[in-house]
Amino acid sequence: MKNKPIYLLFFYLFISMLFSNSYAESLDKVCQEKSNKIFCGNGVLDQVNYLNDVVFNGTRILGHTNVLGDVNASHAYFNTLDMTGDFKGDDVVVAGDAKILGDIHLENVIFHANVNITGDVKASKVQFMSPSKIVGNLTCDNGSFNSDLILSSMSSTLTHTTTKNIEFTSDRRQQILYLYGATVNGSIKFSSNNGVIYSSEGSIITGNVIGGRVINQ
């Protein structure tokens, strides 16, 4: 197969860049500031950088989202997300890596890539498709962790939730995990050697429990 002329390569590159940005809209058409808060509605944006609380409703962001402030998102799509502030999400997709420093409340949310959260997490009907690290207490109902979960938590609760391996990072205090109809397809490790699992009827742990004990309820 013969090499393509160099001008064709530049032409393909130009077309690719043109189409990748063809649906993006200007920021001022999608987002408006009201009462020291940013409101972004239906529309497609290249990227977002805000030092304010932000509300996303029907917004799709193709590039990186960086917010220093609280975020309330519904029916939204993020490519990658990096924020400091509390996050509330309903019907949200995060395609790339997510880093959140703040408490979060989630419903019907999918994280496709790595997740790093420092804050307490309350989640319902949430899917974590890649490795996740949570520094804070986790409460999850009808969720799934399709890769390993690292927790730095004193008390976490999984209800009708499936996970892979769970590792609790070392802590001097006792660490507690409540399982209600949950399935752990792997092992649970307490690096502190001071872990307790309260397991209700119907909960399953397919692997070993390391550094802790199980109390069947």
Q: Does 1 fall in a domain?
A: no
Q: Does 126 fall in a domain?
A: yes
Q: What is the pLDDT of residue 50?
A: 94
Q: Does 157 fall in a domain?
A: yes
Of residues 18 and 51, more confidence is placed in 51
pTM of the predicted model as reported, rounded to 2 decimal places: 0.86
Instruction: Look at 23-27, 138-142, 156-160 and tell me which has the smallest mean pLDDT.
Output: 23-27
Q: What is the pLDDT of residue 172?
A: 78
Q: What is the number of domains present in the chain?
A: 1
Average pLDDT rounded to a whole number, residues 52-78:
97
Average pLDDT rounded to a whole number, residues 87-91:
98
Where does the pLDDT of residue 23 fall: very low under 50, low under 70, confident under 90, or very high at 90 and above? Answer: low
Q: What is the pLDDT of residue 24?
A: 64
Q: Give a three-class secondary structure readout of the chain.
A: CCCCCHHHHHHHHHHHHHHHCCCCCCHHHHEEEECCEEEECCEEECCEEECCEEEEECEEEEEEEEEECCEEEEEEEEEEEEEECCEEEEEEEECCCEEEECCEEEEEEEECCCEEEECCEEEEEEEECCCEEEECCEEEECCEECCCEEEECCEEEEECCEECCEEECCCCCCEEEEEECCEECCCEEECCCCEEEEECCCCEECCCEECEEEEEC
Average pLDDT rounded to a whole number, residues 183-187:
98
Could you read off the pLDDT of 167-177 as tens digits, one per residue? 999 777 899 99
Average pLDDT rounded to a whole number, residues 62-71:
97
Is the predicted pLDDT of residue 37 greater than 60, yes or no? Answer: yes
Is the predicted pLDDT of residue 179 greater than 50, yes or no? Answer: yes
Where does the pLDDT of residue 29 fall: very low under 50, low under 70, confident under 90, or very high at 90 and above? Answer: confident
Of residues 186 and 5, more confidence is placed in 186
Average pLDDT rounded to a whole number, residues 121-138:
97
Q: Does 136 fall in a domain?
A: yes
Which residues span the domain enclosing 113?
6-216
Average pLDDT, the chain: 90
Q: What is the pLDDT of residue 170?
A: 76
